[in-house]
Amino acid sequence: MELDKYADIAKKSPDDSELRADLIQVRAIITCPSCEYRKVFRNQYLRKDMELMIVALKVFDWLTCNRCGELLFLNLEYII
């Protein structure tokens, strides 16, 4: 998704722990309960940009499978 936007922050030295502490890494795994559909998305957000993550999750919440029409499951993994 927008990994390049914050890539320079993620590559900073450990001395810049203040910037790294503000970075939230999110992995969204979307799966279909009926068929074998599976898709993985990754993104990074700064804490000050938390509303961007909330908007993205609201969109994911209503996705349906393009193969069978079932409502998709959304599993999230965070690294804070």
Rounded to an integer, the average pLDDT of 17-35 is 83
**Averaged confidence pLDDT in the chain:** 78
Q: Which of 3-12, 28-37, 61-70 has the lowest mean pLDDT?
A: 3-12
Instruction: Give the pLDDT score at 20.
Output: 66
Six token digits for residue 75? 């599993």
Long-range contacts of 13-20 (CB under 8 A, 24+ apart): none
What is the per-residue pLDDT for 52? 77
Sequence spans of domains, the chain: 3-79
Question: What pLDDT score does 22 carry?
Answer: 84
Is the pTM here over 0.75, yes or no?
A: no
Is the distance from CB of 67 to CB of 35 less than 8 angstroms? yes
pLDDT band at residue 50 using 50, 70 and 90 as cut-offs:
confident
